[in-house]
A and B are shown apart, each in its own frame.
Chain A
């Protein structure tokens, strides 16, 4: 089974900071990697799919990069609405899907 490991598990940052979250796959997954944002009490929201394609309606301060086993989600300038938990997900092993354990972004 493909495992996804996110780092860090949590981080504290200030409004305006550049934030980077990493997701590492246990084997190569090409670009079959998606990112989601989840706020407390809400359903997850798709941010980026296929490693680097921004979902419609998602602010351009979010970006994704990577291929193979190493991927990155970057928030170029953190906004108050961005404090949430972020998850990566792989679909390479379709019909089995896997999520990372999550990265909680908190206010410093």
Chain B
């Protein structure tokens, strides 16, 4: 059974840092792109960051580029989101998601974790 379990959320002051983790199980982790998607309270889904299956390619939304970094450790089947210079507008539930490719190119997110809440407030 595929499982994604996020951890590391919590309350942090503006300007602070946090590292989120997403532990994966039930599939061959090293074969998949992985992503972080966030949802501010009462708002919609926003893609944040993604990392390729081999870890050589990553990208971030403009709103977090330069402040957030996505990494992965295939030995631990875990993807991380390193968040620095946090702002109030980063307050959200952060989900990790597994990427699957139809026909090798059409990406979609077929499994999601339960989410971890990050609150940025003084």
Contact = CB atoms under 8 A, between A and B. Distances in A.
7 contacts: A44-B45, A50-B106, A55-B110, A87-B45, A89-B45, A97-B35, A99-B44
**Secondary structure class of chain A's binding surface, majority of residues:** loop
B47 A95 contact: no
A36 B102 CA distance: 16
Contacts, number: 67
Given A43-B114, A44-B95, A49-B102, A87 B109 contact: no
B105 to A, nearest CB: 8
**Secondary structure class of chain B's binding surface, majority of residues:** strand
Instruction: Determine the interface band of chain A, counting residues with CB < 8 A from chain B.
Output: 20 to 34
A97 B61 CA distance: 9
Interface of B: 35, 37, 44-47, 50, 52, 57-59, 61-62, 95, 102-103, 105-110, 112-115
A94 interface: yes
A99 B45 contact: yes
Contact of A96 (B61, B102, B112): B61
Contacts of A85: 44
Contacts of B102: 49-50, 53
Given A44-B95, A49-B102, A53-B102, A99 B109 contact: no
